[in-house]
Amino acid sequence: GNSVTQMEGPVTLSEEAFLTINCTYTATGYPSLFWYVQYPGEGLQLLLKATKADDKGSNKGFEATYRKETTSFHLEKGSVQVSDSAVYFCALTGNEKLTFGTGTRLTIIP
């Protein structure tokens, strides 16, 4: 079945640091890949997505590239802000269902 392996946190960085959160997946066929973000006490918000190999999703300074050869979808941001503190979930779709990674809690300190 489908699965998503995500870098475990928590991750703590200083403001303006470079961020990478690793995500690899196992899936049959050609899934779409997503990053969702969850702020404290809230539901999930779609951060970015990619639907085919070599696609790059980007939003709010975050980027992730769909790498089929390494089955990866790592999330990156060049300069993080305190407001980026949240839990980040990597996910893929198969049969119209989302499979989530375990989530990575990110804390940015001023």
Partner 1 sequence: GAVVSQHPSRVICKSGTSVKIECRSLDFQATTMFWYRQFPKQSLMLMATSNEGSKATYEQGVEKDKFLINHASLTLSTLTVTSAHPEDSSFYICSASGDRGDNQPQHFGDGTRLSIL
- Which listed range, 15-23, 29-37, 65-73, 76-84, lies at the site for partner 1 (CB under 8 A)? 29-37
- CA 100 to mean position of chain CA atoms: 10
State which residue, 69 or 96, has the beta carbon closest to partner 1: 96
| Position 67 contacts partner 1 (CB under 8 A) | no
| Position 105 contacts partner 1 (CB under 8 A) | yes
61-65 long-range contacts, CB within 8 A, separation 24+: 62/35, 64/23, 64/33, 64/35
- Which of 21, 25, 31, 75: binder of partner 1 (CB under 8 A)? 31
Write out the binding residues for partner 1, residues 32-61 only, by CB under 8 A.
32, 34, 36, 41-46, 49, 51
56-60 long-range contacts, CB within 8 A, separation 24+: 57/33
Q: Kindly report the CA angle at 57 between 31 and 3, in degrees rounded to 5?
A: 30
Residues in the chain, overall count: 110
Interacting residue ranges for partner 1, rule: CB under 8 A? 31-32, 34, 36, 41-46, 49, 51, 89, 93-98, 100-103, 105
